C-alpha cells in the first residue's frame, strides 16, 4: 500500500510494508520515521518534531486501479465555534 505524505512544500509516495489497516496514530508515527530517516528523496528531516503531524489527518482512498492509498495531509477545517 502507498502512503502519500505532504510536508514543507513537497508531496511524495512511500511504499508501506503493511498488510493491515494501520491506525491514524501508526500512520503518523511511520511518516515521522520515514522523514527522519530520509526514506523519501527530497524529504529528509532528521530533526523532525514528535508532533510534526499533530494537525494532520489520514485519508484512506483507492487509486483508479483499486489499490489502497493512504494520504497524510493537513487538516483544513475552520470555524468560529472551534
Partner 1 sequence: MLREVCFLIGKSGEVLWADTSGCAASLADSRARWDAIWRARGELVEVAHSHPVGPAAFSAEDESTMAAIDSALGRPVRYSVVAPRATMVRFGGETFRLAPEPWWAALMRLSSGMARASLHKLHKQKEMRR
List of residues 6+ apart from 59 with CB closer than 8 A: 70, 71, 73
CB of 64 to partner 1, least distance (A): 16
Cα–Cα distance measured from residue 31 to residue 5, given in angstroms and rounded to the nearest whole number: 7
From the list 2-10, 12-20, 21-29, 33-41, the region that binds partner 1 by CB under 8 A is: 2-10
Q: Identify the residue whose cell numbers are 492509498.
A: 69
Residues 39-78 that bind partner 1 (CB under 8 A): 52, 55-57, 59, 71, 73-78
Cα–Cα distance measured from residue 72 to residue 11, given in angstroms and rounded to the nearest whole number: 10
CB of 55 to partner 1, least distance (A): 4
Query: What does the binding site for partner 1 look like in residue numbers (CB under 8 A)?
Result: 6-11, 52, 55-57, 59, 71, 73-82
Amino acid at each position: 500500500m502507498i502512503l502519500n505524505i505532504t510536508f514543507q512544500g513537497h508531496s511524495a509516495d512511500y511504499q508501506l510494508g503493511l498488510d493491515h489497516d494501520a491506525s491514524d496514530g501508526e500512520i503518523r508515527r511511520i511518516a515521522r520515521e520515514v522523514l527522519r530517516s530520509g526514506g523519501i528523496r527530497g524529504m529528509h528531516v532528521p530533526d523532525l518534531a514528535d508532533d510534526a503531524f499533530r494537525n494532520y489527518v489520514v485519508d484512506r482512498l483507492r487509486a483508479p486501479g483499486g489499490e489502497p492509498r493512504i494520504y497524510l495531509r493537513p487538516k483544513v477545517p475552520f470555524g468560529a465555534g472551534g
